[in-house]
Amino acid sequence: MMMNIVLFGPPGAGKGTQSQNLIRDLGLVHLSTGDLLRAQIAAGTPLGLEAQGLMNAGLLVPDHVVIGMIRHRLEECPDAAGFIFDGFPRTLAQAEALDALLEGLGQSIRCMISMVVPQPELVQRLLLRGKDSGRADDQNEAIIAQRIQEYQAKTAPVAQYYAQQNKWKEVDGTGSIQEIYSRIREAAGC
């Protein structure tokens, strides 16, 4: 059985950061829709062009775009020991689509780890990253606020979806990266 973990939290919660630790230690495949979208933008594909304006404005990209990308990556990795889903699912439609895709493979989500970080710290972390990441969506406080608002309106309800399946686990996302990582491993039981 694959070990499939969803890392969940608002922008800047540390999903990408902690994903790196999990893939290093557990040999899982990292599936970050943010990274996949940025790769499409860098390659100048039609999909990337469609996504770029939305991302730079702090808005979510349409469900069908990200679901298609995830389907493609799952098909590319039939022998994976499991996946870390980072930044996906971000809407209820995406969560349902992910369950259906995994069911088609005879697999399921083991747990969803929700990282909790107070809003002022999120803003601070993202502005700090924006200084050298070159990410347009990290450089402006109004765009960061828009991303957090989008998260609260569309993404936060996804936690309830996993809670109903008894798969939702909450961890404190503040402190050192190593401390948070230990909390995640404990919550996931791995």
Segment contacting ligand B4P (CB under 6 A): 87-95, 102-110, 156-164, 182-190?
87-95
- Decide if residue 82 touches ligand B4P (CB under 6 A): no
Cβ atoms of 50 and 43 closer than 8 Å: no
Backbone CA torsion sign across 74, 86, 114, 174: positive
Q: Is 135 a catalytic residue?
A: yes
Q: Is 15 a catalytic residue?
A: yes
- Decide if residue 61 touches ligand B4P (CB under 6 A): yes
Q: Is 147 a catalytic residue?
A: yes
Q: Residue 71 corresponds to which tokens in the numbers above? A: 């389907």
From 90, 125, 169, 183, the catalytic residue: 90
- Decide if residue 21 touches ligand B4P (CB under 6 A): no
Q: In this complex, which beta carbon is closest to ligand B4P, that of residue 125 or of residue 169?
A: 125
**Pairing relationship of beta strands 83-86 and 29-32 according to DSSP bridges:** parallel
Residue closest to ligand B4P when measured from CB atoms: 34
- Decide if residue 90 touches ligand B4P (CB under 6 A): yes
Please state whether the peptide bond connecting residue 11 to the residue before it is cis, i.e. omega within 30 degrees of 0.
no
- Residue keyed to tokens 């349902």: 96
Helix crossing, 33-43 with 46-56: angle to 10°?
Answer: 120
Q: Which of 31, 107, 125, 187 binds ligand B4P (CB under 6 A)?
A: 125
Q: In this complex, which beta carbon is closest to ligand B4P, that of residue 106 or of residue 173?
A: 173
Closest to 6 (Cα-Cα) out of 58, 82, 101: 82
Q: In this complex, which beta carbon is closest to ligand B4P, that of residue 2 or of residue 60?
A: 60
**189: amino acid identity, one letter:** G
CA–CA separation, 88 and 76 (whole Å): 17
What does the binding site for ligand B4P look like in residue numbers (CB under 6 A)? Answer: 11-17, 33-34, 37, 54-55, 59-61, 66, 87-88, 90, 94, 125-126, 129, 137, 147, 177, 180
